[in-house]
Structure formats: structure tokens, C-alpha cells
Chain A
């Protein structure tokens, strides 16, 4: 980009590195504000719909938390007493409206099983899930970028990468997790098989206890990302005029790849990651169960099993909000990576 007369072709998203650093101008911040408002305007009906659906389904079934708590040999009188104590004898609509009123004042209610506030229960466990999912996304994207760059330069890496990502897309994460646990932890005894060490206790132990779960969660995402990135890079290197221009003015092969092609592909990569966040959180539920990690996924499974409606609803709401916020982050990142979007609206 040092000789502007040599780069007349500005196609696709080929822009110099510096152009977006100072891009958060007033016009752009208006776009961002609009985006945030629009996302949250859609988030409210989404969250409401999801909570109504969950509540309705959990109330449709025979039995309730009182029966699950008392066990199989409870009498009807015992159950009725506990139902009255837990407030389960009220009509379903009334209970839902009660929950909704609490929600407006930031109170997610109390667990039917333990009596503890749901906000505390979730807050205790959210950090574990966040660490697991965050590390998985980081690992997957970093490895995918490395893999795709290697594949674009060497045919052998391309072949291997294609096979690895096809395997990764087809391998369910619970199968991968079991094979990893049984192979590396139980058989070879290299890593701890299950359990979680908080980072305050021992940072190294924390990392060791998360290596297997994070790998199992990250592998499918890595496969999807590297597959996309490989295809996108190859297409640009073959078709785009600015790649030819860059090559013609003597930019080195790695530099063309990283500074011109990769930079354009990153916006697409961010979108792909965003689309796969829902499945990632679903995968975290399974992974937490296999590795006995105390995250919200395990809490959710326990709550569903004992029909603890209040806890289930709280978790579903929190997950829905996390997904919406994550989608928002993706949109904002996209804006930073592709300045044309913000400029077009000026």
C-alpha cells in the first residue's frame, strides 16, 4: 500500500489496515447504537417466547417437582402439602405471571429443590461454562486460521486439512469426548479424566482439567471454520484482482495471503463462528455432563430431571440472552472488520 498508483483496484473488502482504526466516527457510532437497540428490541420477544414455551411444556407433563422430591413412595397428602409450600397448587398462568413480576425486579425466583435464589445458583456456575466455551472458541478459531493458511501454501497440508475437517464435522462431540477421556485419561493417565479445579486454587490445575473438555468442544467448530476459511482463501487467491495486483508489485506469498486474502476472509469467519454459537452452547451441556464440570449445563440437566421449573426457566433465559449478546458482538466485530457496512449508511 506504499505506492497508491499501483493499487487502483479496490475490489471486495480490500482496505488498508489503518482505515478502520479511526473509523469509530459519529456516523459509525450511530450505526452501532442502532444495531444494539435493534438487537435488544428483538431479544425481548425472543426471551419472552422462549420462557413461555419452556414453562408451558414443563407444566404440561404429569407429575411435578413435589413428586420428584418426595420419591416414589410418597402419599398424595404429603405431595399436596409440599405443593402448597412450594406454591405449585396455584394455576400455571398465575405462577408464570408471578415469575414474570419477579423478573422485572431482577429476581429469578427460588429453586424448588434447594430453596436457594436462582440468580445465585446461576452466577456460581456461569464462570465455568463461560471459561469452557470461551476457550473453545479461541482454540477453534486460532487453529482454524493456522490450518487454513498452511493449507493455502502447501498441497499436503491442504489434503490433510480436508480430511481432518471432514472427520471433525462428522464426529459427535460426545463420542470424541469419551474417546479422549478413555484414551488419554483412563488408559494413559496423562490428564485428569473428570472434575474441575477452580483457577483460584491452582491455575495450572485449572488448565489441565479443561484441556480435554475444551478440545472436545472446539474440534467440531474448528473443522467448520477451517473448511470455510480454506475455501474462501482459495477462491480469493484464484479470482480476485487485488491479489494479482499485490503479487505483481512484488508482495511476498505469505504477505499476500495474510495481509490481503486473510483479512478479507476474517469477516466471513466471524459470521460462521456466530452462527455456530447456539450449537456450541448445546454441546457444552453434553461436555459438562461427561467431564463433571460444575457449569450451567449440568445445573440445567439436574433441574430438568427433578422438574425444577424455576431453575430451568432461569437458565434458559440466561442462555437466550447470552446468545443474543454474542450475536451482537459478532455484528459489531463484523462492522470493525468490514468498514463498508458502516460507511454505506452515511
Chain B
């Protein structure tokens, strides 16, 4: 984080007499996607507590397939009479939780393995890279399907199965970044002052590769949300009646001609979150000047 903070401070201090407004205008590419992301996260996690949304699974068949803006159901209802807004919000909560957990596991485990592999080099590095190559080359969805089905669906199983692929991906990024940092003089200085491998990796290397890992994590959140949606869409991830954007799209297909909003709303949310993550990742990359 140190490098990240340092560079953002440097950027902010650039124009000496700036107003908050001009700073905001000059960094619209960061403000807009992060505001979008924050409002979606806020809606998904706080809306059910703040307002009296109906439960996402307590619909009555009598009220099934209501159009948008029906009284009591702002975004209408689905095939089973469940409130669409409530399902959208609860489904988003599941997707975001899974994406966050998977990337956190990848960041911590993969980041550590990658940094150690890059720093230690030689035999350890070669061994770890061979193992990672296996996972990178393998079509991830296939194995994830088998693992998710194996555990019988559910949030926890989906998280573990997707982590099989976030860990190696993070490890590769961390290793590449470490290789670039390792040659710098301050690492030699640390070695000369008698620091051990663990101290060098965690106190000197990790803070320097953090910005790159954070950007990769942002892109990773988008990727995981897409894969999780695909799993649930195929019926292997989050199981109905519990909502998730993926299984809402799959279910809404049946009623597309009479009520396209059942497909378009969760699709649109999915697209918006992934787009915001990608745009934010790109903007931060430019801002922090990372290749």
C-alpha cells in the first residue's frame, strides 16, 4: 500500500491550488466507476435492512409475472410471484460476496506463493511455476463445474471451487512483479543489513507489488462474477430458490417474450458491475503508471 499511497499523494499534490471540484473532474475515470460500484454494493447490502423489501423467496403464485412498476412490486415479479427488486438485491449480495471472497483468498494465498517463488527463484520457483502452468492452461470452467457439482452447489462450495483458479492467477502476477522489484538496490541493501527472506518479502516486496495485485483483484472481481453467474446459469452454482444473478437470468428466459425485464435486469446489473470493475482497473493502472 505504501507505493500506492505515495503515488496517489504525488498526483494529488501536482496542481498546487486545486479545488475539490477540479480534482474530481480530472479523475472522472476513477470517480464514475467507483461511485457506480459503491452504490451497487450499498444497494445490495443495505437496502434490505433500510426498507421493507419483501423476502426474495416468499412470493405467491397469484402475483406471478407482474410487469415493471406494479404497486408493491417496483420491478414486478417473476414466475413464482417473488419480488424482482428483492431478488436482484439479494442475488447481487451473493455474487459480490463470492467474488470478494474468491479474490481475497487468491490475493493472500496466491500473492504469498508468487512473491516467495519470485524471490527465492531457482528450484522452488521452477517447481511452483510448473504447478501453476497446469492450472493456467486448463479450461477453468470444466474443473470448477466438477467441483461445484461435487459439493452440491451452495455459496461455500462455489467459493472454494473458484479459488482453485484465483490462487494460481494471483501467484503468477505476484511472481512477475516480484521479479521486477527484486533487482532493485533497496532489496540488496536489506539483504546486506541481514534481513531474512520472510522479512524482505513481507516488509519490502509486498508493499511494492501491492498496487499491481489490487488492480488485478479488481479485474478478478469482474471475472469471478461472470464465472459465478455462468455456474448458476447452468444450475451448478447457487441453487434456486436462493437468488443469484446467474440463475435469475436462466429462469427469466422462459418468460422473455412476455416480460423481458426478468432477463435484462440481472444481465444489466452483471454487465454494470463488471464494466465498472474493468474501467476502474484501467483508470488505476494509468494513474499508478503500471504496465
Partners in one complex: yes
Q: Which A residues fall within an 8 A CB radius of B?
A: 42, 45-46, 49-50, 53-54, 57-58, 60-61, 166-167, 169-172, 174-175, 178-179, 182, 186-187, 277-283, 285-286, 289, 300-301, 304-305, 312, 315-316, 319-320, 323-324, 327
- In residues 171-224 of chain B, which contact A (Cβ within 8 Å)? 222
Please encode chain B, from 66 to 103, with 1 for each CB lying within 8 Å of some chain A CB and 0 for all others: 00000000000000000000000000000000000000
Are B139 and A175 touching (Cβ within 8 A)?
no
The contact sample of 9 A-B pairs, CB cut-off 8 A, is A61-B150, A170-B274, A172-B230, A175-B267, A178-B256, A279-B141, A300-B145, A315-B142, A316-B142
Are B257 and A42 touching (Cβ within 8 A)?
no
- Is B43 an interface residue, CB under 8 A from the partner? no
The B contact surface, by secondary structure, is helix
Q: Whole-angstrom distance between the alpha carbons of A45 and B134 in the complex?
A: 9
Using Cβ atoms and an 8 Å threshold, which residues of chain B touch A320? 137-138
Q: Whole-angstrom distance between the alpha carbons of A61 and B146 in the complex?
A: 11
Are A278 and B233 touching (Cβ within 8 A)?
no
Using Cβ atoms and an 8 Å threshold, which residues of chain B touch A49? 134
Q: Whole-angstrom distance between the alpha carbons of A54 and B157 in the complex?
A: 15
Using Cβ atoms and an 8 Å threshold, which residues of chain B touch A175? 249, 267, 270-271
Are A300 and B137 touching (Cβ within 8 A)?
no
Using Cβ atoms and an 8 Å threshold, which residues of chain A touch B151? 61
Given known A60-B150, A170-B271, A286-B230, contact A178–B263 (CB-CB < 8 A) = yes
Please encode chain B, from 268 to 284, with 1 for each CB lying within 8 Å of some chain A CB and 0 for all others: 00110011001100000
From A54, A278, A283, A319, B136 is in contact (CB under 8 Å) with A278
From B137, B141, B147, B274, A282 is in contact (CB under 8 Å) with B141
Using Cβ atoms and an 8 Å threshold, which residues of chain B touch A169? 278
Beyond known contacts A45-B134, A289-B234, A324-B137: 5 more, CB 8 A cutoff:
A46-B138, A166-B278, A179-B267, A319-B138, A319-B139
- Is B253 an interface residue, CB under 8 A from the partner? yes
- Residues of B in contact (CB 8 Å), total 38
From A42, A172, A178, B133 is in contact (CB under 8 Å) with A42
Using Cβ atoms and an 8 Å threshold, which residues of chain B touch A54? 143, 146
Using Cβ atoms and an 8 Å threshold, which residues of chain B touch A324? 137
Q: Which B residues fall within an 8 A CB radius of A?
A: 130, 133-134, 136-143, 145-147, 149-152, 222, 226, 229-230, 233-234, 236, 249, 253, 256-257, 260, 263, 267, 270-271, 274-275, 278-279
Are B146 and A186 touching (Cβ within 8 A)?
no
Using Cβ atoms and an 8 Å threshold, which residues of chain B touch A323? 137-139
Using Cβ atoms and an 8 Å threshold, which residues of chain A touch B145? 285, 300-301, 304
Q: Whole-angstrom distance between the alpha carbons of A174 and B143 in the complex?
A: 19
Query: How far apart are A211's CB and chain B's nearest CB, in angstroms?
Result: 20
From A61, A179, A289, B152 is in contact (CB under 8 Å) with A61
Using Cβ atoms and an 8 Å threshold, which residues of chain B touch A281? 139, 141-142
The 3 closest A-B pairs by CB, nearest first: A282-B141, A170-B275, A281-B139
Using Cβ atoms and an 8 Å threshold, which residues of chain B touch A172? 226, 229-230, 270-271, 274
Using Cβ atoms and an 8 Å threshold, which residues of chain A touch B256? 178, 182, 186
Using Cβ atoms and an 8 Å threshold, which residues of chain A touch B130? 42, 45
Q: Whole-angstrom distance between the alpha carbons of A278 and B139 in the complex?
A: 4
